[in-house]
Amino acid sequence: MKQIAIIGTTASGKTALALEIALKRDAIILSLDSLSVYKEIDIASAKPTKEERGEIVHFGIDEVYPNETFDVLEFIECYNKAKTYALENEKNLIIVGGTGFYLKTLIEGISLGITTHEPLDISVVDAYEKLYALDETYMQKIERNDKYRIEKAYNIYKQTGLSPSEYFLKYPKKPFVEDLPIFEITWDVEALRKRIVLRTQQMIQQGLIDEVVFLEKKYSRLPNCMSSIGIIETLEYLDGKISRKQLEEKIIINTAQLAKRQRTFNKSQFGNKQIKNILNSLNSDILKTF
C-alpha cells in the first residue's frame, strides 16, 4: 500500500484532483476536512457528492451528526480504519483536505496520556500565569491569548499532575505515518479569489440557505459546526442582519481569510511538501510518486 497527502487552501481543487488520482491508482480517500465529517452538512462543507465519489471508498466524510463530537482522536480512528481497509483490499490511500492540523497530528503523533478535554475552571489569564510559573520553558512557546493551547496545557496539569514538559517527556508523541509524500496545490491570490467567488455563488445557488434552515431547525445553533464559514453568515442573513448580496460578500471575505491562514499554516508546518500551482503538472508529479 502506498500513501500520499494532497493539501491546499479551500477552493484550490484538492477534491477533484484526489478523485482523479484515486481512479488512476486504485486508491481510497481519507478526507482532511473538519466540516465534511458531519452528515447533512453537504453544501456548506463543499464535500464531494455521492455521484462525484462514485465507486471510490471515502473515510472522514459523513462520520457523525452535527450534534455529535468529532476531534483529532476521532480523526486518528478514521485514519486507522482507512489504512486497515486499504491494506485488506490492496488499495492505495490518498489523504486530502484543508485541515492541516489533522495531517500534522498524523505525521507528528499525539500524546495519549489524557483522555478528556475539560473547559477551564479559571480564567485564561490565570491559567497562563499558573502554568508559566510551573513550566516557564514550555509556556514561553504559547501566546497569552492562545486559549486552545492554554486549555490543553492546563488539562495536562489538572489530569496528570505533571507540567507540560514533564508530561511530554513521559508520554512522547509517536507518529502514525512516516515518510508521507505531501503535495500542495497553490494559486496566486487573485486566481484563488476568483475560485472562491465562483464556489460561493454555486453554494448559494445549490441551496445553502435551505440547508442552514434545515440544520438550525434540527440541531439549533449550539453545535460548534454551526459557527462554520457559510453557516454563520447564512444565520445572519436569516436574522435579517445582512442582505443576500452581503451574505455572498461575507462568505467570500471570510473564506479568503481562511485560505490565508491555511497557507500560513502549511508553509510553517510542512517543510517537505512539493509545491506546484498547475494541476496537470502536479498530477504528473503525483503519478510518478504514487
For 220-245, the pLDDT digits (tens) are 999 999 999 999 999 999 999 999 99
With contact defined as beta carbons under 8 Å apart, do 87 and 2 qualify?
Answer: no
Q: Is residue 244 part of a domain?
A: yes
> How far is the C-alpha of 199 from the C-alpha of 216, rounded, in Å?
23
User: Cell match 500513501: residue?
Assistant: 3
Residues of the chain with pLDDT under 70: 112-117, 272, 274-282
Q: What is the CATH number of the domain that holds 186?
A: 3.40.50.300
Please give the torsion angle defined by the CA atoms of residues 217, 223, 225 and 227, in that order, rounded to the nearest 10 degrees: 80
- Whether residue 274 sits in one domain with residue 143: no
- Whether residue 165 sits in one domain with residue 183: no
- What is the total count of domains within the chain? 2
Which set of grid coordinates corresponds to residue 286? Answer: 503525483
Q: What is the pLDDT of residue 286?
A: 79
Q: What is the pLDDT of residue 268?
A: 87
Q: Tell me the pairing of strands 182-185 and 3-8.
A: parallel
Q: Is residue 116 part of a domain?
A: no
Query: What is the amino acid identity at position 271?
Result: G
Q: Is residue 114 part of a domain?
A: no
H-helix or E-strand spanning residue 117? none
Q: What is the pLDDT of residue 171?
A: 86
**Ordered DSSP codes for 133-147:** HH-HHHHTTS-TT-H
Q: What is the pLDDT of residue 272?
A: 67
Residue 137 belongs to what domain range? 124-170
- Whether residue 203 sits in one domain with residue 63: yes
From 76, 73, 45, 80, select the one nearest 61 (Cα to Cα).
45
- Whether residue 77 sits in one domain with residue 16: yes
pTM: 0.85
- Whether residue 281 sits in one domain with residue 189: yes
With contact defined as beta carbons under 8 Å apart, do 107 and 180 qualify?
Answer: yes
- Whether residue 272 sits in one domain with residue 252: yes
What is the largest distance, in Å, between two alpha-carbon atoms of the chain? 56
- Whether residue 273 sits in one domain with residue 192: yes
- Whether residue 24 sits in one domain with residue 102: yes
